[in-house]
């Protein structure tokens, strides 16, 4: 198992994601380990933070509150003891570090506007 808790906040828009991470990391000790951004009719952003369970619970609560003031939060979760297999997804080079790939673009047939 991973030694640290994993916190996730998923929201619409980059401004909300930045506000969430800023508030989360100011509220409690934790580290941002990556983000995922999907381009579509709205930009969906998921930020990933890790640290000890109590810190991540406090960080995600603060981050969610801050993001809700800026935009729409879809989900906020803390996984206290993530399985080691999650490391393949959570720490994927596609979503972490300076070599990360560009955001995914949803094909227009997967969403509707109206």
- Report pLDDT digits (tens) over 1-29: 457 899 999 999 888 999 999 999 999 99
The residue with greater pLDDT, 63 or 114, is: 63
Q: What percent of the chain has pLDDT over 90?
A: 47
Bridge partners of residue 37, in order along the sequence:
45
Task: Give the model's confidence band at 88: pLDDT under 50 very low, under 70 low, under 90 confident, else very high.
Answer: confident
Q: Which residues of 95-105 are buried (b: 16+ CB within 10 A; e: fewer)?
A: bbeeeeeebee
Residue 44 contacts residue 91 (beta carbons within 8 Å): no
pTM for the model stands at 0.80
Mean of pLDDT values over 44-62: 94
């Amino acid at each position: 198992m991973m030694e640290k808790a994993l916190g996730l906040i998923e929201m619409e828009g980059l401004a909300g994601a930045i506000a969430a991470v800023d508030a989360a990391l100011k509220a409690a000790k934790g580290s941002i380990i990556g983000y995922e951004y999907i381009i579509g009719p709205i930009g969906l952003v998921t930020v990933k933070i890790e640290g000890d369970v109590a810190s991540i619970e406090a960080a995600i609560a603060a981050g969610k509150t801050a993001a809700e003031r800026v935009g729409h939060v879809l989900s906020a979760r803390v996984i206290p003891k993530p399985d080691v297999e999650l490391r393949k997804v959570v720490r994927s080079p596609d979503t972490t570090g300076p070599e990360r790939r560009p955001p995914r673009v949803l094909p227009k047939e997967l969403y509707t506007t109206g």
